[in-house]
Amino acid sequence: MSEIKIVADVAGRICAIATEVGGSVSEGDEVAFVEAMKMEIPVAAPSTGKLKAIMVKIDDVVAEGQIIAILEG
């Protein structure tokens, strides 16, 4: 199985995590939400797979391109 990195599209603060480690996600499913510019921006899974790890927690500040989670595809 390959590992797929799920990354933040924008810099901001993690305000919600929408899934759990071990859970299955489909392409386009929301994994987390980043609060930036007073908006909640979803971070979506780029493909279908099982969530292997979540690299952030609520209130963490993330940079654009930072790894949010790892998916086994």
Query: pLDDT tens across 57-72, in order?
Result: 999 999 999 999 999 9
Amino acid 73: pLDDT:
83
Q: What per-residue confidence (pLDDT) applies to 49? A: 96
> CA triplet 69, 45, 68: central angle to 5 degrees?
20
- Helix, strand, coil share of the chain (percent; to 5): 0, 55, 45
- Tell me which residues of the chain have a pLDDT lower than 70: none
Q: Per CATH, is 3-72 categorized as 2.130.10.10? A: no
What pLDDT score does 33 carry? 98
pLDDT value at residue 3 = 95
